[in-house]
Amino acid sequence: MRIQFILSCQKGTIIPINYQSEISSWIFTALSKAGSELVAHVQDMGFNIATQGYKQFTFSPLAIFPYEMDQVRQEFKLLGNQVKIAVSLYLNANYEQQVVSLFRQSPLQLGMLEGKPAFFEVKHWQILPRPHFKEVLQFKAISPISITNTEDIPVPNPYILPDSETYDISFFTHLIRRFKAAHQYKSLATLKLLDPSFPMQYKLIGQAKSRLIHLKHSDEGLTQLRGFVYELELNAPPEVMEYAYFCGFGEFPHLGFGFVDFREEDKKVGAPGHKPEYNAQRPQRPRIGY
């Protein structure tokens, strides 16, 4: 599910440029208030909400226009009274309204207002239509995608550039590891998704731009992460496409990395080589594990 929230705030609120840790904590806090039915559903997936074990989500950057930015202090001053954010979770669509209710009950604490902690409350929300997924799609990274070397030998700089010859190996390794974790570590063959005649493929479109995000706190003890924003074409089973869209690409999506949207070429209904994929009334493929 993917939900777009409009959060109300006070004009003049000061928030840090790097706010990913606070947003992640907000999502964990909201989910920790889940009812028994949703808790049981997540447990069936192999996770525990109470211990922040469920990390099958990501989120978009905050849309905070208008604002003033202080580069020295690394802060934004909000000149409006609302911000926008999309939260994307790998959960059964039956729980959409319950998840919305959890966020409505959980104000986001972020930044300061007149020397006191500032709070953001859900003012409006929209449950975004569930796309139809196919074997070949093009995406654009809205937040950085972080991919590190999967080899056992430590290296000084573990981050791999998206145009590297070995990038696709680590890219798919991290994706499939997380996908299998969401399905109790069943293999793609067991899930009947493995087809040797249809290998997964990654293709970089254009140039990638580096982004370094400083983290205030994280359970992993991380202080900063590097990722890249870019556009890509992916060839993979539709179920894997669906997982990546809702749960993010790369590593640490629960810290706001790997949030993607479709490229404009894949949004154009009737574009050459593409069928209409975004009619919410179209029947959807069965979701694995539900």
Strand partners, 228: 145, 210
| Strands laid side by side in the 224-235 sheet | 201-214, 224-235, 136-141, 260-262
Per-residue pLDDT at 280: 31
Sign, Cα dihedral of 193, 198, 202, 205: negative
- CATH fold for domain 136-267: Alpha-Beta Plaits (3.30.70)
pLDDT at 92 over 50: yes
Q: For residues 113 and 15, give the distance between their C-alpha atoms in angstroms, rounded to a whole number.
A: 9
Contacts of residue 256, Cβ cutoff 8 Å, sequence gap at least 6: 20, 23, 24, 58, 59, 60, 61, 143, 213
Contacts of residue 175, Cβ cutoff 8 Å, sequence gap at least 6: 240, 243, 244, 249, 250
- pLDDT digits 0-9 by tens, 10-53: 999 999 999 999 999 999 999 999 999 999 999 988 899 888 88
Q: Which two tokens stand for residue 56?
A: 């099958």
Closest CA to 289 of 179, 172, 195, 194: 179
- pLDDT digits 0-9 by tens, 61-91: 999 989 999 999 999 999 999 999 999 999 9
Closest CA to 147 of 225, 40, 33, 239: 225
Per-residue pLDDT at 154: 66
Q: What share of the chain is helix, strand, coil (3-state, %, to 5)?
A: 25, 30, 45
Q: Please check whether the two domains, 2-127 and 136-267, share a CATH topology.
A: yes
Per-residue pLDDT at 222: 77
- Tell me whether residue 6 is exposed, middle or buried, using C-beta atoms within 10 angstroms of its C-beta: 0 to 12, 13 to 18, 19 or more: middle
Strand partners, 227: 211
Q: 2-127 — its CATH code? A: 3.30.70.1890
Per-residue pLDDT at 201: 93
Would you list the domain boundaries of the chain?
2-127, 136-267
